[in-house]
Amino acid sequence: MQVKLLGQVNYLDTYQAMQEFTAQRQPDTPDALWLCQHPPVFTQGLAGLAGHVLNAGDIPVIPTNRGGQVTYHGPGQVMAYPMINLQRAGYFVKEYVYRLEEAVIRTLAHFGITGHRVASAPGIYVRLADPFAHTALTGPVTPGALFKGLGKISALGIKVSRQSTYHGLALNVKMDLEPFGRINPCGHVGLQSVDLFTMGVDASWEEVADVLGHKLHQLLAP
């Protein structure tokens, strides 16, 4: 896997570059992982409903071909875009998503934070009251319960074309969280978005990107 640290780059340019990479890749093309951050932008998934954008203001809303609903990207957030040949890797989409989430969980653990999965709600969540607790979630946690006591720290949205992946995941490090209040994040009314800083971890973007990149490199291997 070829890992590239791109720094801050325009979202639309990066989206188009991922599409071009995937369209032009050959069976022997090495997999790639791009790590970057974007200027403020809302991105809308294929299933996205316009009503989940409450007040975009001066932040552009860009339609995409990834799965999922609307989310926000901005400075201080690590974007990870793995472009994996799933046929060559030897696992299917469900396993791929599990590995993406596991990489985030292990990255958070590196900084002492416990990440949680929520059934039927892709991404990773943390306990707002005690993000350092290791106890597993108990009882059903459903979108209907408005994720009571949880905050979303990582969003996930992917596309698979020609058995190859693009788009990926976002991990909030230290960012302006206000724009999340202008949308229903990932289509969930009232869902709170958090970052590592508000959860008590003051780590640099570069440090988190490095850890996440290593975890993804390990976990996405065949």
The whole-angstrom separation of Cα 180 and Cα 41 is 11
Q: 146: which DSSP letter?
A: T
Q: Residue 167 class from Cβ within 10 Å (0-12 exposed, 13-18 middle, 19+ buried)?
A: buried
The whole-angstrom separation of Cα 15 and Cα 167 is 8
- Is 36 designated active site? no
The whole-angstrom separation of Cα 193 and Cα 100 is 19
Catalytic residue among 18, 186, 194, 208: 186
State in Å, rounded, how far the first CA of the chain is from the last one.
11
What is the DSSP track for 46-75?
Answer: TT--GGGB---TTS-EEE-SSSSS-EEE-T
Residues annotated as catalytic (active site), given as ranges: 186
